[in-house]
Amino acid sequence: MKTSIIAAFLSCALLLTGCGSKQEEKEAEEKAAADSPADALQAIADKAKEMGDREAVDPVDFRKLKDLLPETLAGMSRTEATGEKTGAMGFTVSTAQAKYKGSSDGSLNVEIVDTGGIAGVSTMALAAWSIAEIDKETTTGYEKTTTIEGYKAFEKYNNESKSGEINVLVADRYVVNVEGDNLSVDQLKDALKAIDLGKLSDMK
């Protein structure tokens, strides 16, 4: 699954000991300036500042995150469910992961990460798309930012390999990643809808 989330978290923890957070915020603003009109740039800059000012809080018990991962998703059965709390240099995240497999070649991986223990710009680093506007099409697929159930989200899909991912940022804190192989976009969306994002948003 996305072990890169943990790697990114550790990198963010190191950045927070120096001036990394300011540098990331500056890069985000520079990118926005290149791609967006002035009003959109200001909105993105305001969002970056808001997230950057957030204080770290203790992440929830990963077992609570695991409880949100149902036994079946998109007609597939859960084959594995894991969770952990990872920390470094005083910063912590909680992660829950599950793998699903159907009778065909389709497979699904789902991950929920509570970034409350690193907060701020580090959360943006794990979900950089959350402060961007993306809309891209190629001969094989697409990627775009969108809104799902009121939450900022990112979709990416490859029509040739029938693989893709949907990522959602909940309460500026929880990152939900749904990745699938040999599945349609609709199946990925159905899998995401089966996860109670409202309940996740209310977790403390």
Answer whether residue 31 is part of any domain: no
CATH number of the domain enclosing 137: 3.40.1000
Say what the pLDDT of residue 10 is.
42
Answer whether residue 110 is part of any domain: yes
Task: Find where tokens 């500026």 sit.
Answer: 172
CA of 176: how far to CAs of 42, 52, 98, 101, 111, in Å?
Answer: 27, 20, 12, 19, 6
- The domain total for the chain is 1
Say what the pLDDT of residue 172 is.
85
Say what the pLDDT of residue 58 is.
85
Answer whether residue 41 is part of any domain: no
Give the span between the Cα atoms of 73 and 161, in whole angstroms: 20
Q: Which residues of the chain have pLDDT under 70?
A: 1-54, 88-90, 117, 119-126
Answer whether residue 44 is part of any domain: no
Answer whether residue 35 is part of any domain: no
Answer whether residue 21 is part of any domain: no
Answer whether residue 33 is part of any domain: no
Q: How many DSSP H helices and E strands does the chain contain?
A: 7, 9
Answer whether residue 134 is part of any domain: yes
For 99, the domain range is 55-202
CB 201 within 8 A of CB 170: yes
